Structure 1
Amino acid sequence: MSSQNEKPIIYVISDSIGETAEYVVRAAASQFNGGTAEIRRISYIDDHESIDEVVQSAKEVNGLIAFTIVVAELKEYLLKIAEKKQVKTVDIMGPMIDALQGIYKMPPKMKPGLVRKLDDEYFRKVEAIEFAVKYDDGRDPRGILKADVILVGVSRTSKTPLSMYLAHKRLKVANVPLVPEVQPPDELFEVSSKKVIGLKINPDQLNSIRKERLKALGLTAQANYANYKRILEELEYSERVMKKIGCPVIDVSSKAVEETANIILDMFRKGGER
């Protein structure tokens, strides 16, 4: 290998992007003189010729090859050629996969890029949750134009918990309360009606829910918020708005949030817009 005064040259190769291998190599190299190794990453290795080139280059500079190749045939070829050329290799993932196979009691998928797929799904979920918080309760109508789903309905029809549940399914959700005294945002009528989901509820149940809400806040149950006549006015108004939009409507009466969310997800799987 290189002398102490020279930078070691490490080839990081992968049949995917190779970020995992590079991160591990840099972390290990940081234990030696601040990690001054020269790392040359080669991604998406998928043929023998590419492996031949890397092994030959590593041999010429007395370098090391660190790899995350999960395709068995390519991995075997790399190990054979590297041994023949006397180039040292380090299998970053192999020992861990072997150990986990014993725990899971099943063979690994051996498909490149699964870590990145998991990362992408995680970040999409985080982005969707942040979106739901930002565009909750109609606080910024611009979110309507960016959303995958827009929930509309009167207060206490589970718009916010539904938004968060759907966000965990990686859908960007905006929700808009419908109040007779407030004109609905123009954006509601600019997006496809397939993206908008109306939520309706039985007036008796809504009356009960609102009374409980007022009690929780330490307010009298006689407040206008829980007034039955007022509730009927709000529901009639919201029905008119939903008809004008032309959106599908779900009756959330006696439905758990998960049940309503699954109905919405099913709508999208059957051809709703994303």
Structure 2
Amino acid sequence: MEVKECVYVVSDSVGETADLVVKAVATQFNGGFVEIKRNAFVEDTEDIEDLIIMAKQGPSIIAYTIVIPALKEYLDKRVKEEGLVAVDLLHPLMDAFSGTFHKNPKNQPKLMRQLDDSYFRKIEAIEFAVKYDDGRDPRGLLYADIVLVGVSRTSKTPLSMYLAHKCYKVANVPLVPEVAPPDEIYQIPRGKCVGLIISPDKLNSIRKERLKNLGLTSQANYASFERILEELDYAEKIMKRIGCPVINVSNKAIEETADYILNVLKKERNS
């Protein structure tokens, strides 16, 4: 029986990196003639011995991404003893990093998976912020890590997106005198909700600029001091009823406000 050529993808983690590299190379040879077998989470010498036995059965290559030094040394030793072909896909580049940037590698497996998990948490948080922006669906308030409440133009949406990039699921609710806030807003724990306020002068300036960008007159009720004071007074009453901490965003950058929010909520939860 004909033995098919085989590439053994070996890793002390998932093995996705080595798998992709091998497949990329295989396509240069039309790939179909070679079988690719992934051996993930190789953790001890017994795993390597099992691999050696399989690799000796026919024409084969071992392509590996092993960062644990003792395990790599053992594999290199056994491959040499058995006359097998093995390709280290990580260490030549790691050595280049070390020599050029004068840094030492951690030599810890599964770090890439940790990065991937962080990336997907961030994407999930961003999608959450978009879905529950501007009070679109109050059901999301009960699942949010942070809920922001405030009148229009208090940076609720930019703050939600900034915090989402830090992997926090954020929902925000606009407070408007003519529209009663959703019931869910009163069910949020103090340690998850923050009220945003702003000085009347600052809000007046921001709203006038907003109207200008929309091609509307700055004399509209939206930017009038009377309307602004009415909204701020209404928002303050709602925030007192919720019992949430309140932050003045008048002269703060988004980054500064976001850090302040996280510190305030941390204190609330600890108390």
Q: SS at 1:112's partner residue?
A: coil
Q: SS at 2:56's partner residue?
A: helix
1:52 corresponds to 2:26: no
Q: 2:114 aligns with which of 93, 104, 117?
A: 117
Equivalent position of 2:66 in the other structure: 69
Work out the CA distance in 1 between the residues paired with 2:69 and 2:175: 58
Q: SS at 1:70's partner residue?
A: coil
1:225 corresponds to 2:222: yes
Q: 1:265 aligns with which of 262, 265, 271?
A: 262
Name the count of aligned residue pairs. 270
Amino acid at match of 1:102: G
1:102 corresponds to 2:99: yes
* TM-superposed deviation, 1:108: 1.3
* TM-superposed deviation, 1:6: 5.2
Work out the CA distance in 2 between the residues paired with 1:123 and 1:247: 30
1:91 corresponds to 2:88: yes
Q: After superposing the two structures, state which structure 1 stretch, 37-46 or 157-166, moved more.
A: 37-46
Q: 2:195 aligns with which of 176, 194, 198?
A: 198
* Distance of aligned partners of 1:103 and 1:271 in 2 relative to their CA distance in 1, 3 Å threshold: farther
* TM-superposed deviation, 1:269: 5.0
* TM-superposed deviation, 1:169: 1.0
Equivalent position of 1:127 in the other structure: 124
Q: After superposing the two structures, state which structure 1 stretch, 130-139 or 76-85, moved more.
A: 130-139
* Distance of aligned partners of 1:9 and 1:268 in 2 relative to their CA distance in 1, 3 Å threshold: farther
* TM-superposed deviation, 1:174: 1.1
Q: After superposing the two structures, state which structure 1 stretch, 97-106 or 252-261, moved more.
A: 97-106
TM-score of the two chains, using structure 1 as the length reference: 0.92
Q: 1:157 aligns with which of 108, 130, 154?
A: 154
Work out the CA distance in 2 between the residues paired with 1:268 and 1:29: 52
Q: SS at 2:147's partner residue?
A: strand
Equivalent position of 1:33 in the other structure: 30
Amino acid at match of 2:222: Y
Work out the CA distance in 1 between the residues paired with 2:34 and 2:263: 52
Q: SS at 2:9's partner residue?
A: strand
Q: SS at 1:60's partner residue?
A: coil
Task: Answer whether contact 1:62 1:87 (CA < 8 A) is retained.
Answer: no
Work out the CA distance in 2 between the residues paired with 1:33 and 1:118: 32
Q: After superposing the two structures, state which structure 1 stretch, 58-67 or 223-232, moved more.
A: 58-67
Q: What per-residue deviation string (whole Å, max 9, x for no partner) do you get for residues 101-150 of structure 1?
A: 22221111111112222222222222222222222111222221222111
Task: Answer whether contact 2:8 2:55 (CA < 8 A) is retained.
Answer: yes
Aligned alpha-carbon RMSD (Å): 1.9
TM-score of the two chains, using structure 2 as the length reference: 0.93
Work out the CA distance in 2 between the residues paired with 1:268 and 1:90: 50
Q: SS at 2:153's partner residue?
A: coil
Task: Answer whether contact 1:26 1:35 (CA < 8 A) is retained.
Answer: no
* Distance of aligned partners of 1:271 and 1:112 in 2 relative to their CA distance in 1, 3 Å threshold: farther
Task: Answer whether contact 1:29 1:37 (CA < 8 A) is retained.
Answer: yes
Equivalent position of 1:138 in the other structure: 135
Work out the CA distance in 2 between the residues paired with 1:246 and 1:173: 18
Task: Answer whether contact 2:18 2:89 (CA < 8 A) is retained.
Answer: yes
* Distance of aligned partners of 1:41 and 1:268 in 2 relative to their CA distance in 1, 3 Å threshold: farther
Q: 2:209 aligns with which of 212, 219, 242?
A: 212
Task: Answer whether contact 1:135 1:174 (CA < 8 A) is retained.
Answer: yes
Task: Answer whether contact 1:59 1:86 (CA < 8 A) is retained.
Answer: no
* Distance of aligned partners of 1:270 and 1:193 in 2 relative to their CA distance in 1, 3 Å threshold: closer
1:169 corresponds to 2:166: yes
Q: What per-residue deviation string (whole Å, max 9, x for no partner) do you get for residues 220-274 of structure 1?
A: 222111121211111111111111212111111111111101112224555749x
